[in-house]
């Protein structure tokens, strides 16, 4: 699904910043964005960014069917949840939208597989046990693909991406909320470019 090894996890406090942010991501070398549904500006931000050519926008922190339907209506191309919300998963599947639920354990991975899901979000990655736990889970479930998110930064992203089952890492360090609130998209572009250069240089 993802053509880059990182997915920026974004919190936008105003939809006015959605368009310049989308352009900043593309200029920095990223063509994907996960806009979390943590603010009232999220849905309108997704709607705006979904209309930017070349940018694939998804919704994060999707907790309810209402969230899912609103995000899909706004143009979200994929949904991400922090846990296994079965009604959200079924809603996404009915609308033929990829959904990535969060998992923390073998039992939750098994539940995801029972629901037809083979790409999951390992969240929160670092507090759960980080790379060591994810390696153990990957060994038991070699056909499952993971997108670890939570506590990932330039200092440890290479360790996660070295795991064969990891298709991408979610992170927010290249889209800091403070810079977004200030409308400082020059800084965002620079951070995105650095993140892309770092992660694409990793031997996989």
Total domains, the chain: 1
| Residues counted in the chain | 204
List, for residues 82-110, the tens digit of each pLDDT value.
999 999 999 999 999 999 999 999 999 99
The question of whether 182 is a catalytic residue gets the answer no
- Answer whether residue 37 is part of any domain: yes
Choice among 34, 87, 126, 182 that is catalytic: 34
| pLDDT band at 24; cut points 50, 70, 90 | very high
Is it the case that residue 130 has pLDDT exceeding 70? Answer: yes
Choice among 40, 44, 121, 182 that is catalytic: 121
CATH classification of the domain holding 13? 3.20.20.70
| pLDDT band at 204; cut points 50, 70, 90 | low
Is it the case that residue 1 has pLDDT exceeding 80? Answer: no
Per the structure, the complete domain to which residue 122 belongs is given by 6-200
- Answer whether residue 164 is part of any domain: yes
Whether the full predicted model's pTM is greater than 0.75, yes or no, is yes
The question of whether 34 is a catalytic residue gets the answer yes
- Describe the strand order of the beta sheet including 99-100 as a list of residue ranges: 99-100, 79-80, 56-60, 32-36, 6-10, 169-171
Note the pLDDT of residue 203: 62
Is it the case that residue 113 has pLDDT exceeding 90? Answer: yes
Number of H helices, E strands in the chain: 10, 9
Kindly tell me the burial class for residue 13, based on how many C-beta atoms sit within 10 Å of its own C-beta (0-12, 13-18, 19 or more): middle
Distance CA(199)–CA(34), nearest Å, equals 18
Note the pLDDT of residue 2: 85
- Answer whether residue 1 is part of any domain: no
Distance CA(30)–CA(55), nearest Å, equals 8
Contact status, residue 85 vs residue 60, Cβ threshold 8 Å: no
CB-based contacts of 202, cutoff 8 Å, min separation 6 = 5, 157, 158, 161, 162
Task: Provide the 3-class DSSP secondary structure of residue 55.
Answer: coil
List, for residues 26-66, the tens digit of each pLDDT value.
999 999 999 999 999 999 999 999 999 999 999 999 999 99
């Amino acid at each position: 699904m993802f053509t880059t090894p990182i997915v920026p996890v974004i919190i936008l406090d105003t939809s006015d910043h959605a368009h310049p942010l989308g352009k900043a991501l593309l200029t920095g070398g990223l063509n994907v964005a996960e806009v979390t549904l943590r603010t009232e500006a999220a849905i309108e931000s997704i709607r705006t960014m979904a209309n930017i050519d070349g940018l694939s926008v998804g919704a994060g922190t999707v907790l309810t069917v209402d969230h899912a339907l609103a995000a899909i209506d706004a143009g979200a191309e994929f949904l991400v949840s922090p846990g296994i919300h079965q009604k959200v998963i079924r809603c996404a599947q009915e609308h033929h939208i990829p959904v990535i639920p969060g998992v923390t354990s073998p039992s939750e991975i098994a539940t995801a597989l029972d629901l037809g899901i083979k790409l999951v979000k390992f969240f929160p990655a670092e507090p759960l046990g980080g790379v060591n736990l994810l390696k153990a889970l990957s060994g038991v479930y070699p056909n499952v693909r993971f997108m670890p998110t939570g506590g990932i930064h330039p200092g440890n992203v290479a360790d996660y991406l070295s795991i064969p089952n990891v298709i991408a890492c979610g992170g927010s360090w290249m889209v800091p909320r403070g810079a977004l609130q200030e409308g400082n998209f020059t800084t965002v572009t620079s951070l995105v470019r650095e993140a892309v250069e770092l992660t694409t240089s990793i031997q996989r």
